[in-house]
Copies of this chain bind each other. A is one copy, B any other.
Amino acid sequence: MAPELRVVGKPLPRVDAYGKVTGKTVYAADFTLPGMLFGKVLRGTEPHARIVRIDARRALTLPGVRAVISAADVADVRYGGALKDETVFAREKVRYVGQPVAAVAAATSEAAEAALAAIDVVYDPLPAVFDVEGALAPGAPLVHEAWETYSAIPILYREGNICNRARILAGDVERGLAEADRVFEHRFTTRMVHQGYTEPRAAVAAWDSAGQVTVWSNTQLPFEVQNTLAEILQLPPSRIRILVPGIGGGFGGKLRVGVEHFAALLARKTGRPVRVITTSEEELTAAYPRQGTIVELKTGVTRDGRLTGKQGRIFFDTGAFAGSGPGVASVATLILAGPYCIPNLHLEGYAVYTNKTNCGSFRAPSGPQANFAVESQMDIIADALGMDPLDLRLRNIVREGDEGPTGQLLTGVGLEECLRRAADAIGWNDRRPGPSRGKGIACGWWTTTGGSSGVYVKINPDGTVALNTGAAEIGTGALTGAAQVLAEQLSVELSDINLVSADTYSTPFDFGAQGSRTAFSVGNACRAAAADLRRQLFALASRQLGVEPDALELRERHVVAGGKRVSLADLSRLSQQSGGGLIAHGTFIAPPTPYDTKRVEAHVYPAFHSPSFHAHAVDLAVDPETGEVTLHRYVVAQDVGFALNPTYVEGQIEGGVAQGVGQALSEEIVYENGRVVNPNLTDYKMPTTLDLPRIESILVQHPSAVGPYGAKGVGEPPNIEPPAAVANAVAAAIGVRITSLPITAEKIVMALRKETP
């Protein structure tokens, strides 16, 4: 790397800042077309029932109503991720309250609402399963009867209501537990939570005369939505153009088709553009929230705190459709192992169908749930052994050159530094300053997801640079990070980079804004394109300056050699006049991470690429009367490899902690008999800035060998450890351990009163 970095590593304003702070950015929900109709979705009202009849005749007579569609109007195809079990509308039966049954398009939003109310649906209720225990009980009703016939990736393990069981099997866990001086068994539970993005899911679709449909959507994955729509609409993907304007947050909740298919189908039916936007109630009853879980851990440890073996199971309540469940259940096993050296492991992740909404991905899927269990238990073990929880962790954590749970070689491991610095910053050695006050610590690891990225890059005649990428900027600043890499490599400023993004028609393929991969992967594709452009620039400049290409270098928007120089702007103009213009493409895909294939079963994510490591430390107080928790300080030390833009890395940490604190203390989608009883933002309680202290970030930098300038994925990790760190601090403050999320004031008061909640 160049010794002096000008752009990467600098806290520069992000490229999309102006539009967002001035309110001029057009989001999908703002997007309007002439003649546009408004679409709404009619949703099932029974957790499990046969559909006897759908009668839309009256709805169609209402003023302004242009179309009503239901299962009979769409191709009978199943789509989905690892397991194709979803349909656009319920066919024959509904499987959760909120499942789409029909959709309408009308001239106004109000007319569409009226049409929904006028559709008559008759249900014949069926026995339902409302939780994992119910779903796994012998003789439980099946959420999907004939689902062996659904297409799926072949490795999945499926049985009854289980749509995957992924395993890590390392060493001999029986022997490991036998070798232990003590064995600890615990059970933890977590609840379903929503991503809480500001902007609901939204899409506008318009068909053209050639039979192509353009969809403006706030999806994180335009190419994924393109493929899903291709299945649903029965068209080749290239007949479907997905464009992503501004997105008001995603966090994994906008990875999969949301309302794009309704908009496209209604637009096809009516011959008019159609916009569909979800309501808060739809979001909280029928989106892709994080799965509730049950975690059982059995961990063996020697007297001096060495972990000898771990047996663990995590059950994901994935709802009525598999969604991300099979993959999430896989990732979970790597989190259950923890960032620890444990020679003997038997870890299982289950994705279980129930009659609830279809759960999906939420920032570090499985991370907070599994980490909450693992790191809560580490503190329980430390307490039981009379050890400092920090020391117990330092005794067992992975370090440079160690092996991961599935046998991968770990490099760039900054965990010890994270733990020590977070502990120092929170004043770990000065604990329990007052009554009902406690400090907690938790650590973990996470992956940088792979997947292809391609970019086109051109140097404009004023020396600015256009970067075309198929990735969407979902608000993380990741494309600013990638643009910083490009600017650094081309010796221009970040403000010189113009971004063109997320148009399946024109931009190169990108695996999408998911898995903390965008800056990492798009940044590397930019490096490839920049290398090509440097060759072109040096060839042109060599002729201009009369200097051999080898003697040239890029500096401050110029190609220089000794005292001679020529600007990129001049070279671009010259190339337009004499060489076709300065354009290039670059591609990147992360190299595979070798692991021991014998250690895994039915596993979708068997190893972590360029893993990040992190430690969270919190200092809080609990009001013993009300159970209210007040966070005084929150410190995150995160090994980010290299911080392409410290400001936005810190922004990711702050946002991730805020979301994590919500999951720790207050957030929960509450189901009663298959119905959500708090489907609004008053009763579903997310923390605000008033509920949070300033979050202190410590950026630890043990570089990835692959990432641009050593960067690792940074977006998801900050969401992992907050529940565990808060739980450990609460336990320290009140002396009682709460093993279920969220740790509400009510639970704290009951725990202090020794009542069971």
Q: Can you list, as one digit per residue, whether each of A169-213 has a CB less than 8 Å from chain B (1) or not (0)? A: 000000000000000000000000000000000000000111000
B505 and A498 contacting across the interface, CB-CB below 8 Å? yes
Q: Can you list, as one digit per residue, whether each of A448-478 has a CB less than 8 Å from chain B (1) or not (0)? A: 0000111010101110101010000000000
Q: Can you list, as one digit per residue, whether each of A501-512 has a CB less than 8 Å from chain B (1) or not (0)? A: 000011111110
Would you list which residues of chain A between 416 and 461 have a CB under 8 Å from chain B? 452-454, 456, 458, 460-461
Cα distance, A578 to B509, chains bound together (Å) = 12
B506 and A454 contacting across the interface, CB-CB below 8 Å? no
A51 within 8 Å of B (CB atoms): no
A500 within 8 Å of B (CB atoms): yes
Contact of A585 among B456, B576, B579 (CB under 8 A): B456
Cα distance, A238 to B466, chains bound together (Å) = 9
Instruction: Give every chain B residue within 8 A of A505 (Cβ-Cβ).
Output: 466, 498, 500
Contact of A579 among B507, B510, B589 (CB under 8 A): B589
Which residue from chain B places its CB closest to the CB of A457 in the assembled complex?
A: B585
A237 within 8 Å of B (CB atoms): yes
17 contacts between A and B (CB under 8 A): A19-B208, A19-B209, A237-B461, A452-B575, A452-B576, A452-B579, A454-B458, A454-B580, A456-B508, A458-B508, A466-B505, A508-B581, A509-B576, A525-B580, A579-B589, A583-B585, A583-B587
Instruction: Give every chain B residue within 8 A of A510 (Cβ-Cβ).
Output: 581
Cα distance, A452 to B461, chains bound together (Å) = 13
A22 within 8 Å of B (CB atoms): yes
Instruction: Give every chain B residue within 8 A of A578 (Cβ-Cβ).
Output: 452, 589
Cα distance, A498 to B588, chains bound together (Å) = 24
A34 within 8 Å of B (CB atoms): yes
Instruction: Give every chain B residue within 8 A of A24 (Cβ-Cβ).
Output: 208-209
A589 and B585 contacting across the interface, CB-CB below 8 Å? no
A18 and B209 contacting across the interface, CB-CB below 8 Å? yes
A155 smallest CB distance to B (angstroms) = 16
Cα distance, A210 to B505, chains bound together (Å) = 26
Instruction: Give every chain B residue within 8 A of A579 (Cβ-Cβ).
Output: 452, 587, 589
Which residue from chain B places its CB closest to the CB of A207 in the assembled complex?
A: B24
A127 within 8 Å of B (CB atoms): no
Which residue from chain B places its CB closest to the CB of A521 in the assembled complex?
A: B580
B18 and A210 contacting across the interface, CB-CB below 8 Å? yes
Q: Can you list, as one digit per residue, whether each of A473-487 has a CB less than 8 Å from chain B (1) or not (0)? A: 000000000000000
Cα distance, A138 to B587, chains bound together (Å) = 67
A237 and B460 contacting across the interface, CB-CB below 8 Å? yes
Contact of A508 among B227, B464, B583 (CB under 8 A): B583
A162 within 8 Å of B (CB atoms): no
A32 within 8 Å of B (CB atoms): yes
Which residue from chain B places its CB closest to the CB of A26 in the assembled complex?
A: B208
A38 smallest CB distance to B (angstroms) = 16
Would you list which residues of chain A between 33 and 65 have a CB under 8 Å from chain B? 34
A238 and B498 contacting across the interface, CB-CB below 8 Å? yes
A236 within 8 Å of B (CB atoms): yes
A452 and B581 contacting across the interface, CB-CB below 8 Å? yes
| Complex A-B, nearest 4 residue pairs according to Cβ-Cβ distance, in ascending order | A580-B587, A509-B581, A24-B209, A22-B209
Instruction: Give every chain B residue within 8 A of A509 (Cβ-Cβ).
Output: 458, 460-461, 576, 580-581, 583
User: Which residue numbers of A lie inside 8 Å of B, CB to CB?
Assistant: 18-19, 22-24, 32, 34, 208-210, 227, 230, 236-238, 452-454, 456, 458, 460-462, 464, 466, 468, 498, 500, 505-511, 525, 575-581, 583-589
Which residue from chain B places its CB closest to the CB of A227 in the assembled complex?
A: B461
The answer to whether residues A452 and B577 also contact, given A506-B468, A508-B458 and a CB cut-off of 8 A, is yes
A29 smallest CB distance to B (angstroms) = 14
Cα distance, A578 to B500, chains bound together (Å) = 24
A466 and B580 contacting across the interface, CB-CB below 8 Å? no
Max chain B C-beta neighbours (<10 A), residue from A22, A230, A462 = A462
A139 smallest CB distance to B (angstroms) = 42
Instruction: Give every chain B residue within 8 A of A462 (Cβ-Cβ).
Output: 230, 236-238
Instruction: Give every chain B residue within 8 A of A464 (Cβ-Cβ).
Output: 236, 238
Instruction: Give every chain B residue within 8 A of A585 (Cβ-Cβ).
Output: 456, 583-585
Which residue from chain B places its CB closest to the CB of A462 in the assembled complex?
A: B236
Cα distance, A525 to B236, chains bound together (Å) = 27
Instruction: Give every chain B residue within 8 A of A452 (Cβ-Cβ).
Output: 575-581
Cα distance, A458 to B506, chains bound together (Å) = 8
Cα distance, A483 to B22, chains bound together (Å) = 41
Instruction: Give every chain B residue within 8 A of A500 (Cβ-Cβ).
Output: 505-506
Cα distance, A509 to B579, chains bound together (Å) = 11
Instruction: Give every chain B residue within 8 A of A34 (Cβ-Cβ).
Output: 32
A213 smallest CB distance to B (angstroms) = 13
The answer to whether residues A583 and B454 also contact, given A208-B24, A500-B506, A589-B578 and a CB cut-off of 8 A, is yes
A83 smallest CB distance to B (angstroms) = 19
Which residue from chain B places its CB closest to the CB of A577 in the assembled complex?
A: B452
Cα distance, A578 to B451, chains bound together (Å) = 8
Instruction: Give every chain B residue within 8 A of A587 (Cβ-Cβ).
Output: 579-581, 583
A581 and B237 contacting across the interface, CB-CB below 8 Å? no
Which residue from chain B places its CB closest to the CB of A529 in the assembled complex?
A: B585
Instruction: Give every chain B residue within 8 A of A23 (Cβ-Cβ).
Output: 209
Cα distance, A210 to B24, chains bound together (Å) = 9
B19 and A210 contacting across the interface, CB-CB below 8 Å? yes
Known: A238-B462, A466-B505. 18 other contacts (CB 8 A): A22-B209, A236-B462, A236-B464, A237-B461, A238-B460, A238-B464, A452-B580, A454-B458, A454-B581, A456-B456, A456-B468, A456-B585, A500-B505, A506-B507, A509-B583, A580-B587, A580-B589, A584-B585
Cα distance, A579 to B230, chains bound together (Å) = 23
Instruction: Give every chain B residue within 8 A of A456 (Cβ-Cβ).
Output: 456, 468, 508, 583, 585
Instruction: Give every chain B residue within 8 A of A453 (Cβ-Cβ).
Output: 580-581
Cα distance, A210 to B498, chains bound together (Å) = 12
Max chain B C-beta neighbours (<10 A), residue from A458, A462, A498, A581 = A581
Which residue from chain B places its CB closest to the CB of A455 in the assembled complex?
A: B583
A472 smallest CB distance to B (angstroms) = 15
A100 smallest CB distance to B (angstroms) = 27
Instruction: Give every chain B residue within 8 A of A461 (Cβ-Cβ).
Output: 227, 237, 509
Instruction: Give every chain B residue within 8 A of A238 (Cβ-Cβ).
Output: 460, 462, 464, 466, 498
